[in-house]
Amino acid sequence: MQDATEAFVVKAGDMMKVMRKGAENRSVAATRMNENSSRSHSIFLLTLIQKNTETETTKLSKLYFVDLAGSEKVNK
């Protein structure tokens, strides 16, 4: 994926730093409906890994957070 960044984090605070940096990198411009409308999509993938140290089994979950640019028209 073009301009994608991957970061390994352990703490929630570190994850928030990554999300803030991503938000700062988004393009914003005025439209007729919103003066601070995002002009770029944002996809945040959170992968959670849980390991049971007794049984050596692993569970993996993926959460996708998607913010589509220009989607303010949905609420019109």
* DSSP state at residue 40: S
User: Which has more pLDDT, 32 or 7?
Assistant: 7
Which pLDDT tens digit goes with each residue over 37-62? Answer: 556 777 888 899 999 999 999 999 99
Whether 1 shows a pLDDT value over 90: the answer reads no
- Strands annotated E in the chain: 28-29, 37-38, 42-51, 58-67
